[in-house]
Amino acid sequence: MRFSVSCDIQYDVVEDTTLILNIEPQHGERQEVLDEQFSVSTGGASDSHVVPETGNRYRRLQLSPGQHQISYRAEVETRPLIADPAEVAEVPIAALPFDVITHLSPSRYCQSDKLGRFAWRRFADIVGGHEKVTAICNWIFENVDYLEGSSDVSTSAYDTFTLRAGVCRDFAHLGITFARALGIPARFVSAYALDLAPQDFHALFEAYLGGRWYLFDATRLCPVDGVVRIATGRDAADTAFATYFGQLGGPPKQITVRRLDRQPRGDWTVSAVSLVSS
C-alpha cells in the first residue's frame, strides 16, 4: 500500500528552545520511505538519530525566539505481512528473545502489575495468541467510551480501567497492560493512520506473537493495515511526537494521510497484520 503523509507545525518560540521531533516514519523491510522532505522555515542547526534497536527516528532542533514553520511530507510504501490469526500463537516465556522480554515490564502508563487479577480472570482461558489479544481489544472497545477530553497527559491504564473513558493513547495503554499482565510482550506504536476525523497522529499497539510484532487497535478507528508506523516504545512516554526544553506555543499541528495506490481499500481486515520483519 502506498501512502502520502504530511505534518505541518508552527512554533512560536519565546526563548531559546531545544526541540526533539519524532514524526518521521521508520524505515524497514515492510515499510519503505520512498521519498521525504523535512524543512524548517528558519533553517537552523539540527541533528538526527535512528535508534538501532527500534528504528525510531529523532530530529533535534535548536530554535531561537520567533516563529518557525516545520514541515514534513513523505511517500511511504507498506508491505504488511498478513497472517491467519488462528495460526499466530503465543510464545512461551522460555522461548521469548531476551530483548523482547523487557516489554513484559510495567511502565509509566501501563501498570500491568496491578491489573493482573482481572486480566487472568477475563482472558486467560482464551486459546490462541492473536485471538487472545483480539479479545482484549474487543473488551476495551465494548467497555471503554472513546471520548475526547476525558483524559489528559497523566492518565494511565489504571485510571482508564476505572474511569472507562479515554482516547486512542488510553486504549493502547490498556491493551498493552492487559497483554503484559498475561505474559504477552506488548509495546506502544505511534503512527500516521487513514480516516481519522479530525486527522491527527494515532496510537495503537503491538503484541509479540508467533515470533514477530503484530499490530492491534482497540479503537476500531482505522484498519491496522491502514497505518504508517512512526515509533515504538513502552508507552506514550517514549513516543511523544514532540518534546521541548524551553518555552514555545503555537496553533494545532496539521496532519494529512492519504492512500495513493488506486485500488480501493476494500474490506476492513480481519487478518493478523505485521509491519516489522522480526
Q: Binder to a copy of itself among 153, 197, 262, 263 (CB under 8 A)?
A: 153
One-letter amino acid of 40: V
Which grid cell is 276? Answer: 516489522
| Part in contact with a copy of itself (CB under 8 A); list of ranges 156-164, 202-210, 255-263, 265-273 | 156-164
Q: Is 232 helix (H, G, I), strand (E, B) or coil?
A: strand
Q: How many CA atoms lie within 13 A of 251 on its CB side?
A: 8
Q: Rank residues 243 and 256 by Cβ distance to a copy of itself and give the closer one.
A: 243
Which grid cell is 167? Answer: 482516547
By the rule CB under 8 A, 99 interacts with a copy of itself: yes
| Part in contact with a copy of itself (CB under 8 A); list of ranges 28-36, 104-112, 207-215, 262-270 | 104-112
Q: Kindly determine how many residues on this chain lie close enough to bind a copy of itself according to the rule CB under 8 A.
A: 44
Q: Binder to a copy of itself among 55, 65, 128, 183 (CB under 8 A)?
A: 183
By the rule CB under 8 A, 268 interacts with a copy of itself: no
Q: Is 238 helix (H, G, I), strand (E, B) or coil?
A: helix
Q: Rank residues 104 and 215 by Cβ distance to a copy of itself and give the closer one.
A: 104
Q: Rank residues 100 and 135 by Cβ distance to a copy of itself and give the closer one.
A: 100
Nearest-approach distance from CB 111 to a copy of itself, in angstroms = 7
Q: Draw the binding track, 231-250, toward a copy of itself (x: CB under 8 A; -: no contact).
A: ---x--xx----x-x-----
By the rule CB under 8 A, 94 interacts with a copy of itself: yes
Q: Binder to a copy of itself among 2, 30, 73, 114 (CB under 8 A)?
A: 114
Q: Is 152 helix (H, G, I), strand (E, B) or coil?
A: coil
Q: Binder to a copy of itself among 79, 164, 220, 258 (CB under 8 A)?
A: 164
Nearest-approach distance from CB 8 to a copy of itself, in angstroms = 24
Nearest-approach distance from CB 53 to a copy of itself, in angstroms = 7
By the rule CB under 8 A, 126 interacts with a copy of itself: no
Identify the H or E element spanning 246: strand 242-249
By the rule CB under 8 A, 62 interacts with a copy of itself: yes
Q: Is 265 helix (H, G, I), strand (E, B) or coil?
A: coil
Rounded Cα gap, residues 213 and 244, in angstroms = 30
On whether the CB atoms of residues 38 and 72 are closer than 8 A, the answer is: yes
Identify the H or E element spanning 208: strand 202-209
Rounded Cα gap, residues 147 and 166, in angstroms = 6
Q: Rank residues 169 and 224 by Cβ distance to a copy of itself and give the closer one.
A: 169
| Residue at grid coordinates 503555537 | 250
Q: How many CA atoms lie within 13 A of 231 on its CB side?
A: 22
In our burial notation (b when 16+ CB lie closer than 10 A, e otherwise), range 195-222 reads ebeebbbbbbbbbbbbebbbbbbbbebb
Which grid cell is 88? Answer: 499466530
Please report, as ranges, the residues that interact with a copy of itself according to CB under 8 A: 18, 20, 49, 51, 53, 58, 60, 62, 92-94, 98-99, 101-102, 104-108, 110-111, 113-115, 117-118, 121, 143, 145, 153-154, 158, 161-165, 183, 234, 237-238, 243, 245
